Structure 1
Amino acid sequence: MPNAYFTDDERLRLIEISRRLLRLTRDITLPDDVARVRVIMTEGIEQQHCPRDRFSINPIIHNLETALLLCEKISPDRNMVLAILLFILCKSEFIEEKELVKEWGDDIARLIRGLLKVSTLYARQAAMESDNFRKLLLTFAEDIRVIIIMIVDRLAMMRAINHHPDEKMVHDVAYESNYLYAPLSHRLGLYSIKSELEDLSLKYTNRQTYTDIAHKLNQTKASRDAYIAEFIAPIKEKLDATPLKYEIKGRTKSIYSIWNKLVKQKTDLEHIYDLFAIRIIIDAEQEKEKSDCWLAYSLITDMYQPNPSRMKDWLSIPKSNGYESLHITVKGPGDRWVEVQIRTRRMDLIAEKGLAAHWKYKGIKSEESLDAWMNNVRDILETAETGPMELMKNMRMDFYDKEVFVFTPKGDLFKLPYGATVLDFAFHIHTKLGMSCTGAKVNGRNQKINYKLRSGDTVEIMTSAQQVPKIDWLAFVVTGKARNRIRQSIHEMENRASSLGKELLERRLKNRKIDLVEATLMKLIKKMGFRTVTDFFNAIAAEQLDINEVIEQYVAVDRPTETTPDKISAEEFQLQPTAPDDTRGSSDVLVIGEGIKGVNYRLSKCCNPIYGDEVFGFISSEGVIKIHRNDCPNAANIRSRYPYRLIPTRWSGKVGEQFGATLRIIGNDDIGIVTSITSIINKESSTTLRSISIDSNDGIFQGFLGVGVRDTAALNTLIKKLKTVKGVKDVQRSK
């Protein structure tokens, strides 16, 4: 490799790491792997595709360190080692994806794609302390081996940045390592990596405290291990004299663990009892478990003085989470306090991997699906005899596939259900933001409010003071908060309009000195076909009803009905109009959009659609859905100018109410013509006559009949019967 690229120290380190790595991977690599990697790395360096990172660390040295740690700390794996070594050249696009697949295979390409995808998260300046960031990290990685590579890579970095001059950068990396990577290491059973990450994190974020604890312990790891061996020796001698089959594990607490106890217990080092911990695991039949544990307890307390206040008996009464063990603290050689945990193999298995897995017992947050999955991975790591990573190739991390994680421009990270839109995100941030949302910039590109978000998107909401919630928003939002807020807002707007319409009617009635009687008003509302009082007053506020005609009909509600004379010509007929039809329907009759329920609509006055007509919905500027016939005179204009405000609509099949229709009629003005026409209409059980408007000139009359019919079939039947009336020349549906 080019000598100018490496410092003298780096060249020496390069030789050392390469030799150790070759020795560890000798049995897993192909004959030409080393030569091929050497050639492509040399070419990448010569073409300046391997720049130093933000800490000025040589990436070639760093990646070799990472690959070596993977082999030493976990398990040698050809594909993972090669992915680590080739990653920097793929990130700089020196190696293209097609070439990567062709030369190195799909699995290595898959690992590198995962590493590249995860690396993009760090360009977002995201809030790493968020639980959502950990979930997004796992979602992006897709392959558990990618997470393992990242953990080992982070350990290599943490080792390399000691005494780096940029203290702020070192502090940030250390904090992130402790918050994110140490818990992931623990969940995977990578305890030595977890402990080292925690210790280094404390060292970089609170160096003085770390140094003080190290100095106060005043012993090297070797001397501490020697103390544990001295403590264990007489215990083993006693236990060997019994029929018990056992295993003893001794350990010294890490500096981070000791510091954590100092903080939690608010004490000093001299009062921490369990700087040393011993675990005795007994192979016992289940019926003899407790007696065997107590036997070991009696032997230990005969040798070493126990501290009764520190004894914890979870054998007699296990913890609620299933944890069983006997904890005692005894004074060992040199008057040092040592914690001893006594349990059986079954209890240890439960404590490590069952209901009370060690990381749960320590209070690390988790989700059940992730816990079970991580335990499965840990089993593979701990029990596979050869090549455990080979078993992980097909393990997909899809436990967050029903969620999406999106960023704000400032790097804040939020979790939403899968299928969530820009509008859902706006309401998730704040109700006012959702109410005024007009769209968003997603990853720098303008998107509509119904754009479905994907994990990793950066979303900047756009708003307008003129925007108001619309009924059609309910067709694409998926979160309960958005749906509830939209419905609530529309309901409030309708109530405001209803109050305005009521005030208008009351004021006009008062001006004409007419009393408003609730019973009479209810009769009028029912007669005019409105479902609710609110719908009636809304129609008045929207000027869809003529207020003067409403008052006339209100006055006429309790007036005796005058019968029409038997013999009257069209010229002599006096018009008695009823209210224009503006029935607001129920979604039981019409299906609007994708089956949205509880939606109010209005039948358009320009074409008077009735049941059976081919129809479509149009979202008006007031946010009201108006129903038009497909052959409405205004349909072409609406479709060309406002295609984005159209909403699919169809009749549901539930017939029951009447719809208003207008018929244009022409004929000879004969005596009795009006009586004949009204007689036919009155004989139709499902049809009512609502109004007649007729003009006569030179013996020919033409006019309009307002009728209420159930559907198009009833209307067509009526038209046919009216055409049979003597003197009637033509009857056509108007509008």
Structure 2
Amino acid sequence: MLRQYELVERVLSYDPNADEALLNRAYVYTVQKHGTQKRASGDPYFSHPVEVAGLMTDLQLDQETIITALLHDTVEDTLATIEDIEKHFGKEVARLVDGVTKLSKIEAMPEDERAAENLRKFLLAMSEDIRVLLVKLADRMHNMRTLHFIKKPEKRLRIARETMDIYAPLAERVGMYEYMREMQQLAFEQLEPDAYKTITGRLEQIRMQDGGQVDAIALAIKQALAEAGLQVEVTGREKHPYSIWKKMAERHVSFEQVTDIMAFRVITENEADCYAAMGVLHTVWQFIPGKFKDYISTPKNNGYRSLHTSLIYENSMRVEVQIRTRHMHQKNEFGLAAHWAYKQGDRPDGQVGWLRDLIEIVDASHDAEELLEHTRLAIYQDRIFAFTPKGALHQLPVGSTPVDFAFAVHTDLGAQTVGAKINGRHMPLRTPLNNGDVVEIIKSKKAAPQLSWLSFVVTGKARAAIRRSVRLKEREEVIEIGTKLFEDIAARVPAKIGKKAITDAVKRLEMSEPDDLMYAVGAAKLEDREVMEALVPGCTADMEDREDWSRQDKAISIRGLTPGAGYHLSECCHPVPGDRIVGLRSPGKGVEVHTIDCLQLATGVDADWLDLSWGKASKGAVGHLRATLYDRPGALAEMAGIFGQNMANIRALTLSQTEHPFGVYEVDLEVQDLAHLTRIVSALRASDAVAQAERI
């Protein structure tokens, strides 16, 4: 563990103007606050924040970041508060500490929700100040280095999985490859111990057998470049075990079939020498087609710049070579942290765009599961490059479609997409894009994101925006239905209902606005009695018991028929009390009752038409519904539960169509009247298990 004077000397070595007294005060503060707390290793707890601060000095970060690293656990694990931090160390440090601190009030939440809430807060803080991310990555790095001291296997696995899914990809996205590799290595050791042991054992065997082959190849590369007049540094290494295991899993090959386990790095004096060195290597050794990548002219989204190529060395051995300048190398290994001179406006454009996308995902995600899914999609995928017609470059995950591209350009463009041209040709929106494609988006202001897009989009930003749009559209429909149903409820209240009564009812029901009330009515989340009581407290005191409210009286009477005349409700349109109806009377067939808009009426031109209406007490009929459910366990049960909650009996249920990830069901349902049927449709639309619902 770094001693106090050693930490201060490190900071002063690269920042002579740092406030030595403030750094000393922060060191003493964290030691005092953590006191006798111990880590799983048995070391004093304060050794952890001190080591995190040491990692920050390795990156030569400013004193506010060093102090934040020292204090980052005090609010979470001691009695210190953000107000205390601000009082002793200023607003800026307090803001940074708050960004890194986990939410203490969510410990009772399920694991996924707690992780999502922590991630949400962290991403929002990171969008305001990237130093929050740098401290958090160093914090996670040190925790991973000491992970083996934790006794509970399930806790070790949870931390390792979170590191692999969230923090290692975050490190990669800001260009901190050194951190990314070590995190992946340590997490891989916990998540796949057998594979880790096997691969490290095989690498050790190769190391003992090759007789210094890595050094020999590095020397051969350096000599070939020196003969061409290029002064370079060449280093070689084996790929780390996780990288090898990932390649084995992706290609479904054994360890013996992974031929390029050696990687070499060539460091040149300038950018021109990078291309010259590549030309020499491709002349001396055969390069493997399709393996050359130019990240100098087209950098990665995180600012990474380098030339990558793969060569066939002697004895058909494949080796990977990376060529870059010294400046590129420093930036590539530690990304933003490598050249950090903190100014609010100095962030690279690529980082601003990426962070903006993450914040849009945070805003659009509906729950913990969605947030974690969308964030993983946003930060953990291989990339391709596509262009707008004007030449603007956008990086996207492999497998992206024109819809993903449109949302990457701008959320509004994605929402208005109706078609696309790829390289000048009209193509389906689900077409996967390739490297270098020129994509032109055809838009319409009247368009809206379609639910079916979720079956082919791959970016977290697109999925989050589509789901949000669909939810808003469904909410508007439910509000419209709820408003009509509310008018019926309000008409039964013994008072005239105006805006003030509605506003007071919203407050009594602890809602935010009238639309929330209409949505609750439309989605059948409130009973009529609750709404009436909220509008006029006490008005339901003399009404019948709840059982009487829900009683289904299935007596039907129809006005306009001759007394005693026979009739039947048509099965083509399934009229229910509340629909506008007409009758068709044919000789010997009785009267068929249809809804006024039934398409079958066109076939009854030779029959007598009767102007019919429902009797006052008419209740009970069969409604016909079509519901599109997500194809997942419990979805059908949830739909049946909605029918039960609304006291509707299922007469028939058929699966009419399946198209992953949906199943379409048609349902015959006993209902009281049109209002009852409308409530059920709105309740289905409000369910997470139901994609679409409509009356047929």
TM-score by length of 1: 0.46
TM-score by length of 2: 0.48
Pick the structure with greater CA Rg. 1
